[in-house]
A and B are shown apart, each in its own frame.
Chain A
Amino acid sequence: MNNVVETINEQKVTIKASLGFGKKFKAFWGKYGIGYLFLSPYLILFTIFIIIPVVVAIGTSFTNYNMLQRPKWLGISNYRLLFTDDDIFLIALQNTAIFALISGPAGYIMSFFAAWVINQLKFKKVFALAFYAPSITSGVAMTVVWMWFFASDRYGMINNVLINLGIINEPVLWNLDPATILPVVIFISVWMSMGTGFLVFLAGLQSISRELYEAASIDGIKNKVQELWMITLPLMKPQLLFGAINSIVASIGVFDITKSVAGMPSPNYAAHTIVAHLYDYAFLRFQMGYSSAIAVVLFSITFILGRVCMRIFSSKDIY
């Protein structure tokens, strides 16, 4: 594109190079000005609503700030409090970890295998739609539906079936009993999140050309599993990485499903997650310093895990 423009501009630049800063800037602006102008709406909003808030959150996390008085510098004592004295935060941390460790990998692996299998079936589109549909629905709305199934009285479909099968004698209080709350939340989120990576995986699988597989079978690859391991997975690294990051951010940030299942605070804090704790301190108690510290912890966990995934799924060795 810019060949013509560039040569003209380069001439301009070389001519004007000796003419001082103002002219240089003009030449620079002539070449890139329109580009920066086009980028600016996004960039300004991105800076204001994403970059600055992250920096501000980090700063605020070292203070005591209640939005009425001026923030007071505390150093790291918010963090010390968080990890040594705040038992409820430790419960939240533990719940989030259990949740993320189960629902993240489960949803991820299941969605990959579903994509892999569905890609080889007829009526691909119908299967894909039925599998993907849950993840484009509202978490709050779907929790309402699942709670009809999980309802703790006899009207609950699941209790009803289990009683009829003789597996249980009396209804299980799915969303009230601390022992069953987290499993229910995990179940619903796996159901909902299976689709997140699914579409990208399916698209990635479709983009791998048939000739590659044919060539591989000549080279001695015998079965589907070998094919999957040696060809498909390495070629899908970019899609796998995207799916992984998505599932990390979603599973560490779990909140709306827990709140809809068990309310807030949940019985015995059984469904209390990091974001629930953050929400509690930020928007119910307005302790912005303390809640910012929670936010920074959350941020660090997702970011570090994301970086680890980038390492694992690095595409550098194949390109």
Chain B
Amino acid sequence: MAKLYIANKRSKKKKLKRMTKGWAFVYIFMIALVAFTSMPLIYVISTAFKPMDELFVFPPRFFVRRPTIQNFTDLLISLGSATVPFTRYLFNSLFTVTVTVFITVVISSLGAFALVKYKLPGGKLIFSIILAALMFSHHVTQIPNYMVVNSLGIINTYVVLIIPKLAVAYNFFLMKQFIEQFPNELLESGRMDGAKEWGLFWKVVMPSLKPAWSTLVVLSFVSNWNDYFTPLVFTTSEAMKTLPYALNTISSGKAVARVGATSAAVFIITVPTIIIFTAMQSQVMETMVYSGIKA
């Protein structure tokens, strides 16, 4: 008995050793992979703070040696003498993205709540259309939208950078998946307490769906912040451009001073999404499982 136990223990130990060796390899491989995937981002951070001489040093260097904020002041001040100051692009992006995210989260939640909890006649059909719309690439709707926007004369306005992006199929879909988990008993007891439906939605449903809609806030912020096609199509004036579109203009300038300013601009575009995602990561990862489509 004792012998057997020892033998067993030994084989386990052996196994453990082999396992750790295997795992060490996996860890090294994954660290290499992750180092590769995040390399350009590290380079962005490093380059944005490089002084002029380091930007043009040969052979090119990956990391910054003497960090400076010169590039950012260049971006804000010297480019400011151009037609439109950089802060204007920043404002355009922040403003349109904030409004878009806020409205899309509210109308998607409200709509999904109504569809699920009132068992609306026709609801199934509506949902299956929305599900199908997950497969619509937004380039398809852009042409008719452009014709409408053009005939209404609202091109180059904030309205047109916001409204077409509110009814996103994915947002509705995600909220619907969540609201299905929401217990009916809570609604009932709310009604017993005399809450009206509107109040019920804001005071009972939304607070307990916070993980869901905060995930939606993150994802929707990311996709709108990075959206390039909408401003490309719907704006022609420099003053209405948002950051990604403006970056295209800034980076295409061949002037030497532009490299520094461009790297600062790339930094400004890239960092907010990463910060927001990092801050909300646990929440997002918990809720993403509901993104699965049962077809």
Contacts and interface: CB of A to CB of B under 8 A. Distances in A.
B143 A131 contact: no
A interface majority secondary structure:
helix
Contacts of B222: 136
A121 B226 contact: no
Interface residues of B, number: 98
A104 B138 CA distance: 18
B51 to A, nearest CB: 16
B146 A137 contact: no
Interface in B127-162: 129-130, 132-147, 150
A315 to B, nearest CB: 5
A228 interface: no
Contacts of B150: 67
Interface in A11-55: 32, 34-43, 45-46, 48-54
B292 A140 contact: no
B163 interface: yes
Contacts, number: 299
Contacts of A1: 117, 184-185, 187-188, 191
A253 B137 contact: yes
Nearest to B177: A238
Contacts of A142: 40, 270
Given A132-B277, A133-B41, A313-B295, A202 B285 contact: yes
B295 A45 contact: no
B107 A41 contact: yes
A283 B231 CA distance: 12
Contacts of B126: 39, 43
A82 B130 CA distance: 30
Interface in B237-295: 243-245, 247-248, 251, 262, 265-266, 269-270, 273-274, 277-278, 281-282, 284-289, 291-295
Given A50-B136, A202-B288, A242 B293 contact: yes
Interface string A45-74: 110111111101100100000010000000
A54 B142 CA distance: 9
B228 A145 contact: no
Contact of A136 (B115, B141, B274): B274
B113 interface: yes
Contacts of B41: 133-134, 137
Contacts of A298: 137, 139-140
B43 interface: yes
A299 B137 contact: yes
A189 interface: no
Contact of A52 (B143, B144, B278): B144
B interface majority secondary structure:
helix
A103 interface: no
Contacts of A302: 135-137
A199 interface: yes
A4 B184 CA distance: 12
Contacts of B206: none
A206 B167 contact: no
Contact of B37 (A194, A237, A241): A194
Interface in A290-318: 291-292, 295-296, 298-299, 302-303, 306-307, 310, 313-316
Contact of B107 (A45, A146, A260): A45
Given A45-B167, A127-B30, A256-B228, A275 B284 contact: no
A252 B114 contact: no
B107 A131 contact: no
Contacts of A316: 295
Contacts of B107: 41-42, 45
Contacts of B130: 46
A110 B132 CA distance: 26
Q: Most B CB atoms within 10 A — which of A36, A136, A156?
A: A136
Q: Which 3 A-B pairs have the closest CB atoms?
A: A238-B292, A35-B118, A42-B111
12 contacts: A1-B191, A3-B188, A32-B121, A40-B111, A191-B40, A199-B285, A206-B289, A241-B292, A253-B138, A298-B139, A302-B137, A314-B295
Given A43-B126, A117-B30, 19 more contacts: A34-B114, A35-B114, A35-B118, A38-B111, A39-B115, A41-B110, A114-B33, A130-B37, A131-B38, A134-B41, A136-B274, A140-B228, A140-B247, A191-B37, A203-B287, A203-B288, A298-B139, A303-B135, A306-B134
